[in-house]
Amino acid sequence: MSAILAARGLKAFYGQIEALHGVDFEVEEGGVTALLGANGAGKTTTLRAISAMIRREGNLEFRGKRMTARAPEDVARLGVAHVPDGRGTFTDLTVEENLRLGAYVRRDRAAVKADFQRIFGYFPRLAERIHQQAGTLSGGEQQMLAISRALLLKPSLLLLDEPSFGLAPLVVAEIFRILRAINESEGVSILIVEQNANLALDLATRAYLLETGRVVVGGAASAIRADDSVRRAYLGY
């Protein structure tokens, strides 16, 4: 397996408080890697550390090079798109403006235009609501908007923070179906954080289980799913 992102002894801090105590994991190039765990295990923190939204220590390698970017805007410019928890919608802006912001750092205008159309292929509902204020969208639509905004960066790595959060099961199923399609047809590597382990393990090829800021087990998604003791102890189903 070649890794697009590799963390070695990654620590992260909120102020002076260490929230991630040196985790190791790898995100498979072209694959979907899941970070699982209960509330407070450090899943969101890990994504924030990758995006340099919080102070981090340890080694983070992106595409074989040490990632030295110290600000979220620089990480984004490397081609790492982050769909944050809470979806990060610009609620007062229109759907179109939200999407245009996704492509803010790109200069290839023609390709951006084509990407808009491709994204409307995945999420036709966004095309219908293009001039609507983004804050008036439903939760599911805002999640679709957040994913689309991230895709417009033309990322090589997509970080997804609980895309199922607060959504109806049918909407969740639709979003995960589209995520799979995006992963397969765009070749975007995905690192996904989920509380809903069952759902994430369906999508993922690899998975890591976090507990209070440490990795307790990692490996192929199918192996983790098959391991009864892990499932009972940590995934609760």
Q: Which stretch binds another protein (CB under 8 A): 16-24, 28-36, 67-75, 121-129?
A: 67-75
Position 85 contacts another protein (CB under 8 A): no
Structure tokens at 108: 């290839």
- Listed in sequence order, the residues at least 6 apart from 67 whose beta carbon sits closer than 8 Å to its beta carbon are 60, 61, 75, 78
Position 84 contacts another protein (CB under 8 A): yes
Position 100 contacts another protein (CB under 8 A): yes
CB of 214 to another protein, least distance (A): 26
Q: Closest CB to another protein among 51 and 183?
A: 51
Position 193 contacts another protein (CB under 8 A): no
Is 103 in contact with 153 (CB distance < 8 Å)? yes
- Listed in sequence order, the residues at least 6 apart from 235 whose beta carbon sits closer than 8 Å to its beta carbon are 36, 197, 198, 209
Is 184 in contact with 176 (CB distance < 8 Å)? no
Position 88 contacts another protein (CB under 8 A): yes
Instruction: Scan residues 40-59 and list those touching another protein (CB under 8 A).
Output: 51, 53
CA–CA separation, 93 vs 98, rounded Å?
A: 6
- Taking Cα atoms as reference points, which of 48, 35, 16, 44 lies closest to residue 201? 35
CA 159 to chain centroid: 2
Q: Closest CB to another protein among 22 and 79?
A: 79
Q: What binding mask, one character per residue, do residues 103-142 give for another protein by CB under 8 A, x or -?
A: -xx-------------------------------------
Among 31, 37, 42, 102, binds another protein (CB under 8 A): 102
CB of 3 to another protein, least distance (A): 22
Residue 34: count other Cβ atoms within 10 Å of its Cβ. Answer: 26
Q: Closest CB to another protein among 30 and 72?
A: 72
Question: Measured between alpha carbons, how far is residue 193 from residues 3, 46, 128 in Å?
Answer: 18, 9, 29
- Which residues are near another protein by CB under 8 A? 51, 53, 71-73, 76-77, 81-82, 84, 88-93, 97, 100-102, 104-105, 149, 153
